[in-house]
Each structure stands twice: as C-alpha cells, then as structure tokens.
Chain A
C-alpha cells in the first residue's frame, strides 16, 4: 500500500545492496490472534473480508462439508475449515480454523517471487501482494509453506489476505477482527497478542485441554497471524495446518544455492572463452589453393593464420 511505503523491510526480487525505504522502521510488529476454541464457525469473518476488500466470489456448491467456499480462491481470502475428529475416548470433536495468509516473518512467497516489488513485507510484519507488479508466474504458490496464494483466471495475478494493510495503516483493526461476534479474533502488537494467548492457553489447560498452546511456528520465523489451538501438539488436526512449516529446501536450493552457482557458471564460461581466445587466437583455415593431397597433413598442422577466410 502506498500509505506504508516508508517502512518496507523486504521486497521481492530485490537484492540487499539497495536498502528499502525504512524511515519508519521503528514501527511495532502487529499480529492477529485466532482462538479456535472460541470460534463458532459463523463465517462472519468471511463476509467482512469480502465486504471490506470488495470481493464478489461466485456462489459455490455445497460439497458435503460446511467449508464454503470449498477452498481459498483469488476472491476468497479466508475460509473457515470444519474438521470432524474422534478423540481416543471416541468423543466427537469439531475442529474449526479460520484459514488464510499467516504473514510469515520469513515469507516463502516473497523468497520465490521473481518480480521486483510484487511482494512487500512491511516493518509491522504484514506481507502484501502488489497486484500491479504481479506477473502471474505462480512461484509464490510454490514458495508458500501454507498453500495460501491463489492465481486468478480473470487477470493472472496472485491474491491472498492483506491483513487489511490499508486499515492497519490508518490505525484500524482488520475487518475480520472487527466483525467476529465471539471475540475469537484479536488484533494488536505481536507482544500483546502473545500475552493474550498465554492467558487463554492457561485457561484452556485449566479446563482440561492439556494440549492447548500457541501456534507461532519458528520454522518460518514466527507468523503475524497466530492461533490458540486446543491441540497445539497436533496442529495438522486442523485441516492440515503444518506441524513444522518452513520454506521448502527445494525452494531454498533454487533461490539461495543455484543462483550464486549459476552466476559463477556464467562468469567462468564467459571468462574462460575470452581467455581461450586471447591465448590461442582464432582458429583459421589456410585457403591457399589446394595442393596435392599429400600435403594435407602439414597444412592442417599449421597454427593460427591470418590468411584465413573470415566467417
């Protein structure tokens, strides 16, 4: 967002030699805390998200579960996931989770993106797609450990939750937070949200949820959307929320290892060719009229010769 253009800490496809505008880098990190134990699955957050961001997704079909739409789309940036589970005692549990971008401190999408400035990370922790710079290659889809970005068929650009960067920039909380009727979603500084989470986790443990805990995965440097989970020891129960998310080693190999190796390959190849030419000289052909065949051996043995016919 233009309003936050002075506090960018990471910019896609931009190397570290050119520092980004950071005049306001004293800014506090923000976080959204989603307490799954308080969620009733009303989908008010989905509606608020669509309303604030002016998204009009197609009305879908019931696919046999409550998830609706059935998945994130370019025009649905958050979806409540409904997972049924029987615990060891045979007791049914309904696990709800509001899915959307986690706003990682080390964003895989941003690492993968080849288009300068198409993905920005702001000092407050928000990771935002700049749609007009997006080229629609889909690398962010491969880079994301949470399978969040979606590419629109309408305009071939990637979309996901912005954490309402436009609202946050003017001191408002994200639309989903504002709307949530049960108080399951909170927003504030990351430190405040961690404190709040700690309190909630204590309460949940006191009520017998021994596995309760905060989901702020260290593998991606922590996230700016965090969960309080009743089963924090098994995050994957909540619709395949990764137990230990991190940027894939394949993506790291591609972006961190192959790039310098490739650059060295170019330098070595070009320098080698140039050095060879300087050392050996052009490989020319003696075009003096063909003598008797017996002379061929010697002709071929002659070194560089400027009589040669040029290419």
Chain B
C-alpha cells in the first residue's frame, strides 16, 4: 500500500488503551447482562462459573474505568464542543443517510462522537461509584440498605445505557468503512479523512503535505 496516501489518526498508545479497555469491557458487560437478564445467564460464563464471574466483574470494571480515564485525558481536548458542531447537528439526517455533500466543518471527532465520548465518560463514572457501593465483599456493608437499592438501580440503568451506546459505537465503526481498520493500524486514508473529518484534515493534515507519513504511531 502506498503509505503517502495514509495519515496517522490514532497513536499507538491510544489504540492500546482503546483495545485493552474493549477486551475488559466485553467481559464486564456480558457478565453484568447475565445478572440483569437472568434468562441470559449463560453470558456470564465468559468469566467462568457464576461465583467466579461475581468475583472478577468488579475488578475488570475498575480496569475499564481506569483505562477510560486514561483515554479521557488523551482525548478530552478533541471532544470539547465547538460552534461548528452545530453544522453537524443541523445536517444530522443527511449524515445518517450518507448524503452530505457540503463540508460540515467536522474536526477530529464529529458532534455525535463527542456525545458518545461524554456519555461513556459520565456513565462509566456512575458505574464506578455505584459499583463500589454495591461491592459486597468490600464496601456494601458501609451503606444502609435503601442506599444500596438506589445504587443497584443506578448501576443497572447506567450499565444498560452504556452497553446500548457502545452497540451504536460499534455499528458506526462497521458502517463507516475504514474506521475499524483505522483504530487498529492507526492510519486512515487521506480521502477518508477529508470525507469524514474535513476540518481536521484541513487544519491538521493538509498543511503538512506532501508528508511522507511517519510510521512511529
């Protein structure tokens, strides 16, 4: 492949954070679902027998939270809302129907991705706090039962919301060809960058051309 046609979008360290978090998240989410929907009890066996899954779930949850906090630090400056995000919102239907002809002034992440970012970060924080509270082996005894009930409900609501958000995120990765490969290798094509993140391309990529793109991701 002609490297000069590729641009680095996600650095190695960020990709490592992302995919290690994904691995833990899958296990945590599936075991969590096995308790929320007991008819899907078998999902919990990704972590071994049910008792073992109960032991591992909170530790893996802490790993997810920690990795997401690392990603927060690395990604937050790209995900602050800016005025041009309004353009994207105004054209949301065209975006979804893949019919946007005009440049939408999309930065490194589009407004939908920013919503996802803040949604994930707030939900994982709620899951972290409520999860510690209902952690029977260590902390649950510190809280009165009515508080535990609220924490359990909050944990379930936040868990469901987060999993649904992530399903949407995965779908967008499948729908927008080039994204998953980009998140694995770190590189996307110039055409991809122009098509999906025009402002990012113009501000960060185009000025450096004709760059022989660096491979030290």
- A interface residues, Cβ below 8 angstroms from B: 12-15, 114-116, 133, 135-139, 141-142, 144, 147, 151, 156, 248, 250-251, 253-254, 258-259, 262-263, 265-266, 269-270, 273, 276-277, 280-287, 290, 296-301, 303-304, 308-311
- Which parts of B169-184 form the interface with A (CB within 8 Å)? 171, 173-182
- Contact partner of A311 (CB less than 8 A), chosen from B41, B152, B180, is B180
Interface segment out of the listed B16-24, B73-81, B99-107, B111-119:
B99-107
- A206 vs chain B, min Cβ distance (A): 39
Q: How many A-B residue pairs have CB under 8 A?
A: 159
A283-B36 in contact (CB<8A): no
B160-A265 in contact (CB<8A): yes
B54-A15 in contact (CB<8A): no
3 closest A-B pairs by CB: A13-B38, A301-B101, A138-B136
A14-B152 in contact (CB<8A): no
- Contact partner of A276 (CB less than 8 A), chosen from B145, B175, B189, is B175
Q: Does B192 contact A (CB under 8 A)?
A: yes
Q: How many residues of B contact A (CB 8 A)?
A: 57
In the complex, what residue of chain A is closest to B53 when comparing beta carbons?
A: A135
- What are 15 pairs between A and B in contact, CB < 8 Å? A115-B50, A136-B51, A137-B35, A141-B136, A156-B137, A258-B156, A259-B36, A285-B195, A290-B5, A290-B190, A296-B198, A299-B194, A308-B177, A309-B178, A311-B178
A280-B96 in contact (CB<8A): yes
B179-A114 in contact (CB<8A): no
B37-A283 in contact (CB<8A): no
> What's the Cα separation between A141 and B140 when bound, in Å?
10
- Contact partner of A285 (CB less than 8 A), chosen from B37, B137, B178, is B178
Q: Does B70 contact A (CB under 8 A)?
A: no
Q: A138-B134, A250-B149, A258-B156 are in contact. Are A156 and B38 (CB under 8 A)?
A: no
Q: Does B98 contact A (CB under 8 A)?
A: yes
> What's the Cα separation between A259 and B160 when bound, in Å?
10
Q: Does B142 contact A (CB under 8 A)?
A: no
A310-B36 in contact (CB<8A): no
> What's the Cα separation between A254 and B155 when bound, in Å?
10
Contacts of B145 in A (CB 8 A): 141-142, 144, 147
> What's the Cα separation between A114 and B153 when bound, in Å?
14
> What's the Cα separation between A304 and B99 when bound, in Å?
9
> What's the Cα separation between A83 and B149 when bound, in Å?
28
Q: Write the B76-99 contact mask toward A (1 if CB under 8 angstroms, else 0).
A: 000000000000000000001111
Q: Does B150 contact A (CB under 8 A)?
A: yes
